[in-house]
Amino acid sequence: MGRGLNKVMIIGYLGRDPEMRYTPTGRPVTSFSVSTTRTWTSADGERREETEWFNVVAWGNLAEICKQHLSKGQQVYIEGRLQTRGWEDEEGKKHYRTELVANEMIMLGGRRSQDYDDYDRPPAPSDEEYPF
Residue 64: which CATH number? 2.40.50.140
For residue 63, list its beta bridge partners.
none
Does residue 13 lie in a domain region? yes
Residues in contact with 70: Cβ distance below 8 Å, sequence separation at least 6, in sequence order: 14, 17, 18, 32, 76, 105, 107
- Nearest to 76, CA basis, from 34, 107, 110, 30: 107
What is the distance, to the nearest Å, from the Cα of residue 68 to the centroid of all Cα atoms in its chain? Answer: 16
Q: Note the pLDDT of residue 42.
A: 93
Give the total number of structural domains in the chain: 1
pLDDT tens digits for range 34-43: 999 999 999 9
Contact 55, 33 (CB under 8 A): yes
Domain that holds residue 103: 8-39+47-109
pLDDT in tens, 2-29: 899 999 999 999 999 999 999 999 999 9
Q: Establish if 56 belongs to a structural domain.
A: yes
**Average pLDDT estimate for 70-79:** 97
* Residue 77 maps to a domain: yes
Indicate whether 125 belongs to any domain.
Answer: no
Q: Taking the complete model, does pTM exceed 0.85, yes or no?
A: no
| Residue 126: inside a domain | no
